[in-house]
Amino acid sequence: MGTDTTKVIIFDCDGVLFDSREANIAFYNQILSQFNLTPMTAAEIEYVHVSTAEEAFRYLLSRRDPRDVEEVLAQRPHVDYTPFIRLMHMEPNLRELLGALPQQIKRAISTNRSYTIGDVLRTHGLEGEFDLVVSALDVKNPKPDPESALKILRHFAIAPLEALFVGDSETDQRAAGGAQVPFIAYKNRSLQADYHIDDLLAIKEIVTNRKEG
């Protein structure tokens, strides 16, 4: 057995488990419109994709009307996110991967989502598929800080090399690197990573090769 046997796989949510771009655009633009503010630009869409909701709103409003920041943040937890969850699309072969992974390998999520992650998993029938979910509400410093990844390592009492972190953004790359967890870049060849994949099922092959290496 190799020294890099995988015991835990850490998944980012947006961009790895789900294509959530359409949902995020609709969510943020609806709230902006409620305050008669302009829709997001292409650059702003990229920013909110990897940020916490609070970071995203502070960023968006700082570029429009900073006076509305606290008012918008106060309203955010009361917005019904359900219609937007239905705009999220599960990434291809996610269910197949979860079914193919050995049962002894734990699955965790490290996400900058906050209030919505539970509803997202329930709506898409993934509740119970993950052994631990760490959201922005569970840490003091969300990604790109490594706190969420380190929290997962401590929870399962494993070393960094016994985990894999699957992400699609520089935010994920930095979080994995800060925790010294090997990084799998999903659908983003521009990232520095130990592995690059375009199909989630490739993770099963990576796990097998590490065990036999």
Please state the φ and ψ torsions of residue 67, each to the nearest 5 degrees.
Answer: -65, -20
- pLDDT tens-digit map of 146-202: 999 999 999 999 999 999 999 999 999 999 999 999 999 999 999 999 999 999 999
Residue 164's nearest CA partner among 209, 114, 112 is 209
**CB–CB of 139/145 below 8 Å?**
yes
- pLDDT tens-digit map of 30-61: 988 988 889 999 999 999 988 998 899 899 98
Residue 117's nearest CA partner among 97, 98, 144, 139 is 139
| Level-2 CATH architecture, domain 8-19+89-212 | 3-Layer(aba) Sandwich (3.40)
**CB–CB of 166/107 below 8 Å?**
no
pTM of the prediction? 0.91
Residue 183's nearest CA partner among 174, 194, 175, 191 is 194
